[in-house]
């Protein structure tokens, strides 16, 4: 691996902090010291005489203090299943999404002594290039790695080395409020084969309502993406869906992982970006310029593009079942190909850890069958493991069946490059301009972004040689 630029990140980190996209809730860092076994140190390891040395693992996680509750349940299960680690205490450092990347990067560079961390899948290659994560190949057999879905292995590997497993996977499809579609006489297909964006637009317009005629709908047609943030995971799908499978547009970048001119700015991709802008501007606008929190869950939009954890949110907010919804495939540009982006939470071990074996053992348990099942029961999102995906009956029935099918048939990883962090930052600014800037020349703006990304990625030249 090339580590020559390990410590030269601080300038770009300042930029990343300024534009960081908040995908999860959460506030100040808050260890889960009052929430379970991570505050307790057991002295007996396996029933034998003598006391094991007390070990503390410092674990940086995302995104909100309530996530600590699930982790503590996993930690309890780990110690019960593997009592040789009963002497291990885990200190959680709960970090908001906007602060997660710079915290990991700068802390390792500064020699901070945390042991393991939670990270977004596409960032693993960036961390690997910059030496802020160790290989986990010594800890996983080939059989154990084969338990993970292929997208997870691709996202968690660097130059053929396995760096990081995932606890879950993702594929965003389109949810709809069935009461609203019924009222409008719209019948979305209840299958993965989807409408084109042009076909879906008619449905978005039909379900959008402005009863008082003030020009601001009470119910919007669509929210393309979860939360209120703008980024590659969902908004980046449209431009790639404008190309046929295997085309430069569909691939999204060159095979070197550094070339974006001729991939991000093809005529087809520009048409996709124009469609995204037109969702926000003009006579056929179907989504608000300023994002509305929980717009779909509060019944202020008829459709939303979202991962399947929306089902858990609906069940939690409407326990009496008075939110009628359905799921259809994700719309794509006419002449292109349907796709969803994959990738979710991964876990890595810091090179600064003095307890790498214990940290790796915890990562294995978290992402193993038992740990991942505890996580799923709380979060309700696609597992990253074949065994868990195959045993959950809900993924063999509509609507969750569509997400499992989508993951395997149309799911593609977000672009795989050590430059993903720089790409994500510049691309997010482009998307923000498209959805909010007045009098924008879309083609020129996209072409400039492609050049800017390519320039930012030049420092990784030769990374895969």
pLDDT digits over 90-141, tens only? 999 999 887 888 889 888 777 778 999 999 999 999 999 999 999 999 999 9
Q: Please give the Cα distance from 461 to 127 (Å, whole number).
A: 16
Give residue-wise pLDDT tens across range 160-171.
999 999 999 999
State yes or no: pLDDT of 46 exceeds 50: no
pTM: 0.86
* pLDDT mean over 28-43: 32
Per-residue pLDDT at 33 exceeds 60 = no
Give the domains, in start order, of the chain with CATH numbers.
10-170+343-413 (3.40.190.10), 173-342 (3.40.190.10)
What pLDDT shows up at residue 227? Answer: 86
Q: What is the DSSP letter of 320?
A: T
What mean pLDDT do residues 400-418 have? 97
Mean pLDDT in residue range 425-454: 98
- What is the rounded end-to-end Cα distance, in angstroms, of the chain? 10
What is the helix (H) or strand (E) element at residue 15, kind and residue range? helix 10-19
Other beta carbons less than 10 A from residue 283's beta carbon: 5
For range 222-245, the mean pLDDT: 96
The predicted model gives 250-266 an average pLDDT of 98
pLDDT value at 155 more than 60? yes
Q: Give the pLDDT score at 50.
A: 52
Which has more confidence, 29 or 217? 217
CA distance 220 to 451: 34
The tokens describing 352, both together, are 């600064």
For residue 366, the surrounding DSSP H or E stretch is helix 356-367
């Amino acid at each position: 691996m090339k580590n020559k630029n390990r410590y030269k990140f601080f300038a770009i980190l300042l930029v990343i902090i300024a534009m960081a996209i908040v995908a999860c809730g959460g506030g100040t860092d808050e260890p889960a010291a009052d929430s379970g076994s991570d505050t307790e140190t057991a002295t007996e390891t396996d029933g034998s005489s003598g006391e094991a040395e007390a070990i503390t693992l410092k674990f940086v996680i995302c995104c909100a203090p309530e996530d600590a509750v699930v982790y503590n349940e996993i930690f309890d299960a780990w110690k019960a299943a593997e009592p040789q680690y009963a002497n291990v205490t885990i200190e959680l450092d709960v970090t908001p999404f906007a602060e997660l990347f710079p915290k990991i990067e700068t802390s390792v560079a500064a020699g901070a002594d945390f042991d393991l961390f939670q990270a977004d899948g596409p960032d693993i290659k960036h961390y690997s290039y910059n030496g802020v994560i160790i290989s986990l190949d010594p800890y996983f057999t080939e059989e154990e790695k084969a338990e993970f879905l292929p997208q997870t292995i691709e996202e968690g590997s660097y130059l053929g080395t396995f760096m990081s497993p995932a606890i879950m996977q993702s594929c965003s499809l389109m949810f709809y409020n069935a009461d609203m579609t019924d009222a409008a006489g719209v019948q979305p297909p209840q299958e993965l084969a989807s409408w084109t964006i042009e076909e879906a637009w008619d449905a978005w317009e039909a379900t959008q309502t402005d009863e008082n005629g003030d020009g601001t709908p009470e119910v919007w047609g669509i929210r393309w993406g979860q939360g209120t943030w703008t980024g590659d995971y969902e908004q980046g799908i449209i431009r790639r869906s404008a190309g046929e499978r295997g085309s430069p547009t569909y691939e999204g970048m060159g095979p070197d992982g550094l070339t974006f001119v001729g991939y991000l700015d093809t005529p087809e991709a520009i048409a996709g970006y124009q469609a995204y802008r037109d969702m926000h501007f003009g006579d056929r606008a179907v989504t608000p310029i300023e994002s509305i929190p929980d717009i779909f869950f509060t019944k202020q939009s008829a459709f939303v593009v979202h991962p399947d954890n929306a089902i858990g949110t609906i069940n939690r907010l409407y326990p009496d079942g008075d939110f009628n919804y359905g799921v259809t495939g994700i719309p794509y540009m006419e002449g292109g190909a349907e796709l969803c982006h994959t990738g979710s939470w991964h876990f890595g071990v810091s090179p600064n850890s003095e307890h790498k074996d214990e940290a790796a053992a915890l990562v294995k348990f978290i992402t193993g069958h038992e740990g991942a099942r505890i996580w799923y029961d709380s979060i309700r999102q696609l597992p990253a493991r074949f065994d868990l995906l195959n045993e959950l009956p809900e993924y063999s029935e509509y609507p969750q069946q569509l997400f499992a099918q989508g993951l395997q048939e149309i799911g593609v990883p977000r672009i795989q490059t050590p430059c993903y962090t720089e790409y994500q930052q510049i691309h997010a600014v482009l998307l923000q301009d498209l959805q909010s800037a007045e009098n924008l020349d879309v083609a020129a703006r996209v072409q400039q972004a492609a050049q800017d990304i390519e320039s930012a990625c030049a420092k990784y030249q030769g990374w895969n040689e």
